[in-house]
Structure 1
Amino acid sequence: MEQEMRPLGAQILHMLKARGVDVIFGIPGVHNVEMYRGIEEAGITHVLARHEQGAGFMADGYARATGRPGVAYVITGPGLCNIMTPLGQAYSDSVSVLTLSSCLDETVGHRGQLHQMRDQRAAAAAVCDWSEEARDAQTAYGLIDRAFTEFKCKRARPKHIQVPIGVLGGMASAAPKRKDVSESSYGCSGADHIAREVAYQLENSQKPVFIFGGGLVTLKDDGSVPPNEVYVRDIVRRTGAAAFMTYAGRGLLAADDPLSFGTYLGRPESKRILQESDLVIAIGTELSECDLWRDELGNGGRLVRVDIDPEVLVDRHRADIAVQADGLEFLLAMLQDIPGVTAVAKWDEDEIAATKNRFRAETDAERPGIIEVCDALAEVMPEEAMIFSDMTQFAYVANEVWQMPWSGYWHHPSGFGTLGYALPASIGGAMGRRGKPTVCIAGDYGFQYTVQELGTAVEMKLPIPILLWDNHKLKEIEDCMVESQIAPNAVTALNPDFCKLAQSYGCLAVKPNSFSELQSALT
């Protein structure tokens, strides 16, 4: 039977639906209207952002919340430029975001066209894993399947595909049926042998330390606890090793684990602890500046690195043993060679507890008054709540002191560090977790980068508590200026009445005057 012919834009929508896409975030324009032809027929929900930056962050939040790729639609030129900041954030934090855009049919001989750029594809390539142009239907289908395959089998990174306006409107046959690609093992040949060797070193080390990163986090869209925590907590129990978690790995260890140093890896004293260790095993972490807040890890003994990205394995930290492998698979391989009984702790548990208390006090001294608010909120926060935070002092403190019941439920724009992330990302997360609690935490300045997305949240009827930390200024920057002996300048801006602003969008808004009122409002 002859395949039904449709304009390519419509065929792409049906292809995306067949690949599991049920939500697209974006903004239609004159150049990409063909991308919207038959979107209802394809069975896809479109979420109308108020700005392409919001659409990108929504796709990011959706991907983090569900473990499935987030998809965004934008127009030629300024639409793509506006989404490049979210794409940079997704690249930095290893998030699966696919952006599809229109592009001009010809740019060399015809200047002065609407939305024209010198090289749109190359611009997106600066913040994406790759950026390619499809000048026919089969190339478009191939690139989409390539993106989805790589999302499944490689380190997550954003991708960009652009299709000329004329090609989008041209008639095309349907995309080929999906061919299932088995999720590959990232391990190199001999990885199991190396796992046995590392397990042996663990057994014979005096003071081993694990560093668990976001590469060990698996998201579940049904709200169930991922199994990764079980294995991570088990290997600590069975080896007697101490452990740190990166911010992205928060929740992999239980808050009351006596051998956990928590997420205090960025504390200067953590270097002293790692110098005492004769074996450090870092799994699924870049050990980046935003993990350590110093130039070097500071380990005194051997360093083992396990990561799916070979680039990480040859960075400045220079591991003694570097293994390209999926972190969880490698951890499971080690567990096979480790006795299944609780080991004698190789670190003083009382000393670990005292050290964490000292770290907590340092955090409170640096940014006074925030810990008490964190504690009050954490006390009544639903255990299944997923939290999206912005670049704000409140989140910087919470990243260290707020203990999560499991991993993958607090998302922060690390690395690229973009303001305005939390609100649209929480919208994307809420779209992917309908019926489950989703929370946004933002500062007064960053909130205003994407405040217009309140309209999207109300339009989609999303019950998102937005916790706004309003200190009436860019307090972190002011503190930095003072520390650098620079007279504070350009750190105070006129704020609106945020409650009235929220109400104008149709939101409920309250300004609690006590911890109990704050807890009641959140509940």
Structure 2
Amino acid sequence: MLKDRGVDVIFGIPGVHNQEMYRGIEEAGIIHVLARHEQGAGFMADGYARATGKPGVAYVISGPGLCNIMTPMGQAYSDSVPMLVISSVLDETEAKRGQLHQMKDQEGAAAAVCDWSVTARTAEASYQLIDRALMQMETGVPSPKHIQVPIAQLEARADAAASRPVDWPVCPEPAPLHCTTLTEQLNAAKRPLFIFGGGASRNVSRWLPHFLRMNAASFTTYAGRGIIPDDSPLHFGATLARAGSADVIASADLVVAVGTRLSEVDLWRDHLGHKAPMVRIDLDHETLSDRHRPETRILADASAHLTESLTAIPDEKQTTWTTKEVAEARARWHMEINTERPGILPVADALKEAAPANTMFYSDMTQFAYAAKEVYPMDRPGHWHHPYGFGTLGYALPAAIGGKIGVGDQPVIAILGDYGFQYTVQELAVAVEMELTLPIIIWDNGKLGEIEDSMVRAQIAPNAVIQRNPDFLKLAEAYGAAAAEPTDLDQFKSAIQTALQTKGPTVIRIKSDIALTNS
């Protein structure tokens, strides 16, 4: 059934309690990727989904298997990533205690970190629930779902599922939306400002030429990077977290936020800063009724609504935004970032020179990524993935593995800190096993640098922030991966280019002072 619905890859780990889910996988023509930990399987499914736009599917056992994948499920829920987790569950848990993998409420535990968690007690129910999950991921706000099947049902005989509908997946052309409200407000505005989030990344080519003709200014969230080309003269970039962005936003006479929650991790302040009327365009009812209180709420697909609204304005629009004020603001914020995080931006520049234009990046919670995701220029959406909302360490390596499996020959690079790498280092074995060409950059400062800095700012004596690292190169070689340790930026660029031509993964360890010691 899953193959019939377009599923080509399943990430997971087999166990006695879910082994029946593995019967027939090869006959169906589905690739199963054996993770080394259920957390890795979940992050791989997340990375695959972000890279391909298709749901990432994961198989886990009952009890600890489900608990282990709950962190990736929470990450996918916070970042609106389509993931389907299918697990086994014990047949009965109330009258019989002490069973292997027993939990009090497995369905309820999973429900805390995903859109919904349900139990399929018959084969027909499982088929219907899978179709419901896939349909909702395709037509609504993408989010993870969990379906659990009692072991006795997994072992029982069952009729095959019905074939997929002829119109599967459902991607209908949107009906006319009659976007007069937004068009009228844009026509009247002299200083319109757009903020684009990850929810606006579909079918950008349909509306982007019309948007550029508007001469409106723009920001993106981190997840929305690349929606507006970074070199567009009226684009402020992914700099909403800069304190000065509030003043820029306050100067607009109309703010249009598209496909974004404008969440804490987008702004790092309580208020966006706008004084003008706000328009929100989103598929998420919660977003349209959040603390930002927009004057105009539009429940619609972002691409469809923008296409119809912007094409209704046929002529180039004159606004009061100037390329000079945008360039000056970006230069000022660039200097702020360089001062806050010395030595990182030159490394990001070197990475940009070494990586092909269509490279897909997966970054972890590390200081290098914190700086790079504000300044690294992106010319296309959906090509820099990060654990934005939940903020999970250990995300990048398994997510990059899933992404690389999804995109095939397209270049993929993982970026991790020395501490976060060790959360999921065991998944390096998967990349080796599958011979994935994957540069894995480890930003090594020998400590939890961001936490140390935060403690110092809070006038707390830094505690428990220094760790003893292994020899990352020998560790990589023990797994069967290539390894490199460049000592200057030219060597770093060369190591990236070599890794992109190497069969199998390459661990590239760079010290956090690489740019400072060679300047």
Provide the TM-score with structure 2 as the length reference: 0.94
Find the counterpart in structure 2 of residue 7 from structure 1: none
- CA–CA distance in 2 between the matches of 1:435 and 1:52? 26
- 1:344: how far off? 3.3
Partner amino acid, structure 2, of 1:192: L
Q: CA RMSD in A?
A: 1.3
Q: Deviations over 1:170-195 (max 9, x none)?
A: 000100111235336788xxx834x2
Match of 1:356 among 319, 322, 330: 330
Find the counterpart in structure 1 of residue 111 from structure 2: 125
Find the counterpart in structure 2 of residue 428 from structure 1: 402
Find the counterpart in structure 1 of residue 505 from structure 2: none
1:164 and 2:138 aligned? no
Cα distance change of structure 1 residues 346 and 229 upon mapping to structure 2, 3 Å threshold = farther
- CA–CA distance in 1 between the matches of 2:206 and 2:354? 25
- CA–CA distance in 2 between the matches of 1:308 and 1:166? 39
- CA–CA distance in 2 between the matches of 1:235 and 1:487? 54
Match of 1:183 among 161, 165, 171: 171
Structure 1, unmatched stretches of 5+, are 1-14, 219-226
Cα distance change of structure 1 residues 391 and 229 upon mapping to structure 2, 3 Å threshold = farther
Report the 3-state secondary structure (helix = DSSP H, G, I; strand = E; otherwise coil) of the residue aligned with 1:247. Answer: coil
- Confirm or deny: 8 A CA contact 1:196 1:333 kept in the other structure: no
- CA–CA distance in 1 between the matches of 2:182 and 2:148? 45
- Confirm or deny: 8 A CA contact 1:64 1:429 kept in the other structure: yes
- Confirm or deny: 8 A CA contact 1:185 1:326 kept in the other structure: no
Match of 2:160 among 168, 174, 187: 174
- Confirm or deny: 8 A CA contact 1:25 1:59 kept in the other structure: yes
- Confirm or deny: 8 A CA contact 1:229 1:253 kept in the other structure: no
1:57 and 2:43 aligned? yes
- Confirm or deny: 8 A CA contact 2:211 2:310 kept in the other structure: no
- Confirm or deny: 8 A CA contact 1:98 1:158 kept in the other structure: yes
Match of 2:91 among 105, 109, 113: 105
Find the counterpart in structure 1 of residue 204 from structure 2: 228
- Confirm or deny: 8 A CA contact 1:236 1:243 kept in the other structure: no
- CA–CA distance in 2 between the matches of 1:350 and 1:231? 25
Partner amino acid, structure 1, of 2:388: S
- CA–CA distance in 2 between the matches of 1:230 and 1:264? 25
1:39 and 2:25 aligned? yes
1:147 and 2:121 aligned? no
- CA–CA distance in 2 between the matches of 1:304 and 1:275? 15
Report the 3-state secondary structure (helix = DSSP H, G, I; strand = E; otherwise coil) of the residue aligned with 1:504. Answer: helix
Find the counterpart in structure 2 of residue 240 from structure 1: 215
Cα distance change of structure 1 residues 185 and 158 upon mapping to structure 2, 3 Å threshold = farther
Match of 1:202 among 186, 193, 198: 186
Partner amino acid, structure 2, of 1:444: D
- Confirm or deny: 8 A CA contact 2:363 2:384 kept in the other structure: yes
- CA–CA distance in 1 between the matches of 2:16 and 2:366? 37
Report the 3-state secondary structure (helix = DSSP H, G, I; strand = E; otherwise coil) of the residue aligned with 1:91. Answer: helix
Q: Deviations over 1:2-53 (max 9, x none)?
A: xxxxxxxxxxxxx111111111000001101101112111111110000000
- CA–CA distance in 2 between the matches of 1:216 and 1:316? 20
- Confirm or deny: 8 A CA contact 2:338 2:345 kept in the other structure: yes
Find the counterpart in structure 1 of residue 256 from structure 2: 281
Report the 3-state secondary structure (helix = DSSP H, G, I; strand = E; otherwise coil) of the residue aligned with 1:16. Answer: coil
- Confirm or deny: 8 A CA contact 1:244 1:264 kept in the other structure: yes
> Superposition pairs for residues 476-487 of structure 1, below 5 Å?
476-487=450-461
1:214 and 2:198 aligned? yes
1:303 and 2:250 aligned? no
- CA–CA distance in 2 between the matches of 1:304 and 1:79? 43
- CA–CA distance in 2 between the matches of 1:404 and 1:86? 26
- Confirm or deny: 8 A CA contact 2:210 2:311 kept in the other structure: no
- Confirm or deny: 8 A CA contact 2:13 2:59 kept in the other structure: yes
Match of 2:448 among 466, 470, 474: 474
Find the counterpart in structure 2 of residue 192 from structure 1: 177
Q: Deviations over 1:219-249 (max 9, x none)?
A: xxxxxxxx414623x2442222100011111
Partner amino acid, structure 1, of 2:52: T
Structure 1 stretch 327-336 or stretch 60-69: which is displaced more?
327-336
Provide the TM-score with structure 1 as the length reference: 0.93
- CA–CA distance in 2 between the matches of 1:298 and 1:498? 44
- CA–CA distance in 2 between the matches of 1:241 and 1:427? 38
1:77 and 2:63 aligned? yes
- Confirm or deny: 8 A CA contact 2:17 2:151 kept in the other structure: yes
- 1:351: how far off? 1.1
Find the counterpart in structure 2 of residue 3 from structure 1: none
Q: How many residues align?
A: 495
Amino-acid identity (%) = 57
- CA–CA distance in 2 between the matches of 1:320 and 1:211? 16
- Confirm or deny: 8 A CA contact 1:236 1:259 kept in the other structure: no
- Confirm or deny: 8 A CA contact 1:153 1:184 kept in the other structure: no
Partner amino acid, structure 1, of 2:430: T
- 1:343: how far off? 3.2
- 1:69: how far off? 0.5
Partner amino acid, structure 2, of 1:209: L
- 1:105: how far off? 0.8
Find the counterpart in structure 2 of residue 291 from structure 1: 266
Partner amino acid, structure 1, of 2:143: R
- CA–CA distance in 1 between the matches of 2:302 and 2:172? 13
Q: Deviations over 1:123-156 (max 9, x none)?
A: 0000010000011100011111111111111100
Match of 1:267 among 220, 224, 242: 242
- Confirm or deny: 8 A CA contact 2:206 2:303 kept in the other structure: no
- 1:277: how far off? 0.8
Match of 1:332 among 290, 299, 307: 307
- CA–CA distance in 2 between the matches of 1:511 and 1:242? 42
- 1:205: how far off? 1.2
Structure 2, unmatched stretches of 5+, are 498-519
- 1:304: how far off? 0.4
1:20 and 2:6 aligned? yes
Find the counterpart in structure 2 of residue 462 from structure 1: 436
1:313 and 2:313 aligned? no
Report the 3-state secondary structure (helix = DSSP H, G, I; strand = E; otherwise coil) of the residue aligned with 2:482. Answer: coil
- CA–CA distance in 1 between the matches of 2:2 and 2:189? 50
Q: Deviations over 1:421-468 (max 9, x none)?
A: 000000000111111111100000111000000001100110100011
- CA–CA distance in 2 between the matches of 1:498 and 1:101? 34
- 1:259: how far off? 0.4
Partner amino acid, structure 1, of 2:201: V
1:508 and 2:494 aligned? no
Match of 1:447 among 416, 421, 436: 421
Partner amino acid, structure 2, of 1:115: H
- CA–CA distance in 2 between the matches of 1:305 and 1:401? 26
- CA–CA distance in 2 between the matches of 1:90 and 1:118? 24
